[in-house]
Amino acid sequence: MLQQVNGHNSSPDAHGRKRLREDLQEFLGREAPLHLLDDLTKVNPVTLETVLRCLQARYMADTFYTNAGCTLVALNPFKPVPQLYSPELMREYHAAPQPQKLKPHIFSVGEQTYRNVKSLIEPVNQSIVVSGESGAGKTWTSRCLMKFYAVVAASPTSWESHKIAERIEQRILNSNPVMEAFGNACTLRNNNSSRFGKFIQLQLNRAQQMTGAAVQTYLLEKTRVACQASSERNFHIFYQICKGASADERLQWHLPEGAAFSWLPNSERTLEEDCFEVTREAMLHLGINTPTQNNIFKVLAGLLHLGNIQFADSGDEAQPCQLMDDAKCSFRTSASLLWLPEDPLLETLQIRTIRAGRQQQVFRKPCSQAECDTRRDCLAKLVYARLFDWLVSVINSSICADPNYWTTFIGLLDVYGFESFPDNSLEQLCINYANEKLQQHFVAHYLKAQQEEYAVEGLEWSFVNYQDNQTCLDLLEGSPISICSLINEECRLNRPSSAAQLQTRIESALAGSPCLGHSKLSREPSFTVLHYAGPVRYRTAGLVEKNKDPVPPELTRLLQQSQDPLLKVLFPADPEEKSQEEPSGQSRVPVLTVVSKFKVGLVVLT
């Protein structure tokens, strides 16, 4: 590698390498002052080892924030540190003449962003990107930033306007526990892992007072409702209603003490996030009254009972699969809680409707046992996804300010962290794809730009060999062929999906990419992507079906028959509504896949 030293290029020789090792050993030997270095640019030499040792020393000294130039590195303390986020500390950073000269802190970043909005003559929106691997503390950081702005962006003059502002701020803060209850879950890496991405827009008026907010969400992991990995849990809200319901509510929702639900694994674990009262109180502040809340929780209980429905193999393709004997009670309970007619519900799960030919003839085909289970899971995911979107719209209607009352915003981007599990599928592919985009954004707007600026100004500098992940992004989203385009193409082809065939297509079409690894030892079809954060192996089984995200139109029509007040809102009857999931014949239209929708969302963000 060529190094630029004092404007001259030189090749490192044995003497240079020896000197570097000596400098490194000397630096590593001075462990005492390491925790005093509050900026990683101050370590010398800057290597992976020295940076990690510096962060380790600060972590051991209970110092969890360290600057890295214009960015902030935060370490998860994995323990409560209340004095680190007190209102008094917020005001100290807000009142400081130069907050950047105080100790590194998330409040320093928040205050600098706030002053950037205030100091500009023409309003310019500001955004803070909170990124990191799963379990790094992104959700907590976003929560702290929202509390910080609720404190510093308030202070109206009159008592009446103060009460109005206080109510707005409280509603904004109350959106957190509701969205976390319905969108977060316990994973192998994190007890409170966000299973969706969100962009929070904090809206400011001309006096830089917070007048409202808006939430935009991305890619809810709705598959978690019906399928949880080993040692992981479903969304928090299911555990909250089972653990926190009163005796009367248990009777109403058919949730007796000690009841076992297939979709409620590891319920014996007690987490801080299992607090039902916090969620209910926050929902009240957002305008979701008690009857509506009870309706929501009744529907969720119906989904839990739906998960206990099992079918027996009919043994004859011409005959529908029947309910197992011990599932009949769960079936009736689920139908009752969801206010669905029993016979149409059972028939919809058992029999598939097919339209074929120019005359759109209707054929009825009994489903296999596996297909019955898939339709049951699809029903639950469809209801939960609509419920989540409805909650987001309710939250926005409660906290969003009139466009005439705000001029600028501060954005908080909290996107799911990089993930690598024993089994990785489309969810992890999209999550890690989003993290690759964020990494490239950082590389382009900080590292590349910084060094180009040094070169233009003629400053003496040493080239930093950083990792540019554009090659990995090309593999994932490049044109004309990429992993995303190949998965989408498989969705468009009118043929059964083959996991082995998809693996072969990816490996042959993208063989030249240095970021595509090979999984020769894998027992099942898969491919490996060498991400900037490490290699991840993705199983190809089920990828195409998840990307299609098919919803049989008869499931939607069934839910439109429900007499439940909430489901009638989530699934309004529309005689002209046509499902794009199962088009046929000449009416076939391109399917908007999960990957396609996700890519559009990323483009909007960046």
Return the pLDDT at 169. 79
Residues of the chain with pLDDT > 70, as a percent, come to 85
Return the pLDDT at 587. 46
By the 8 A CB rule, do 490 and 497 touch? yes
Residue 81 has pLDDT above 60, yes or no: yes
Residue 585 is a catalytic residue: no
Residue in 417, 427, 469, 513 annotated catalytic: 417
**Per-residue confidence band for 14, with pLDDT thresholds at 50, 70 and 90:** low
Which amino acid appears at position 474 of this protein?
A: D
By the 8 A CB rule, do 506 and 522 touch? no
Contacts of 272 (CB under 8 A, 6+ apart): 191, 192
Domain(s) of CATH 1.20.58.530: residues in the chain: 436-541
Ordered DSSP codes for 341-375:
-HHHHHHHHHEEEEEETTTTEEEEEEPPHHHHHHH
* Helix/strand/coil for 584: coil
Residue 479 is a catalytic residue: no
Residue 194 is a catalytic residue: yes
Average pLDDT for residues 544-551, to the nearest whole number? 91
Return the pLDDT at 155. 55
d(CA 132, CA 99): 24
Q: 203: closest CA among 394, 398, 411? A: 411
Domain(s) of CATH 1.20.120.720: residues in the chain: 306-393+557-588
> Is the pTM above the cut of 0.75?
yes
Return the pLDDT at 13. 60
Contacts of 76 (CB under 8 A, 6+ apart): 64, 135, 136, 137, 140
pLDDT digits (tens, 9 = 90+) for 28-63: 554 447 888 999 888 877 788 888 999 999 999 999
For 480, which DSSP code? S
pLDDT digits (tens, 9 = 90+) for 453-470: 666 776 665 555 667 789
d(CA 117, CA 206): 10
Q: 138 among the known binding-site residues?
A: yes
Q: 135 among the known binding-site residues?
A: yes
Residue in 175, 194, 469, 488 annotated catalytic: 194
Residue 600 has pLDDT above 50, yes or no: yes
Residue 503 has pLDDT above 70, yes or no: yes
Residue 135 is a catalytic residue: yes
By the 8 A CB rule, do 169 and 150 touch? yes
pLDDT digits (tens, 9 = 90+) for 321-341: 999 999 999 999 999 999 999
* Helix/strand/coil for 129: strand
Residue 134 is a catalytic residue: yes
Residue 93 has pLDDT above 80, yes or no: yes
Residues of the chain with pLDDT > 90, as a percent, come to 59
d(CA 6, CA 398): 59
Average pLDDT for residues 356-370, to the nearest whole number? 82
Q: 134 among the known binding-site residues?
A: yes
Residue in 63, 67, 108, 134 annotated catalytic: 134
Residue 11 has pLDDT above 90, yes or no: no
Return the pLDDT at 448. 63
Q: Which of 199-213, 348-362, 560-574 has the lowest mean pLDDT?
A: 348-362
State which CATH number among 1.10.443.10, 1.20.120.720, 3.40.980.10, 2.60.120.620 fits the domain covering 306-393+557-588.
1.20.120.720
Return the pLDDT at 163. 67
Q: 7 among the known binding-site residues?
A: no
d(CA 415, CA 213): 18
Residue in 113, 142, 193, 333 annotated catalytic: 193
Residue 417 is a catalytic residue: yes
Return the pLDDT at 606. 66
The CATH code that applies to domain 436-541 is 1.20.58.530
Q: 458 among the known binding-site residues?
A: no
Residue 447 has pLDDT above 80, yes or no: no
Phi, psi of 551, rounded to the nearest 5 degrees: -125, 110
Return the pLDDT at 3. 37
Residue in 50, 66, 139, 526 annotated catalytic: 139
Residue in 135, 183, 307, 601 annotated catalytic: 135
Quote the tokens at residue 239: 């555990």
Residue 190 is a catalytic residue: yes
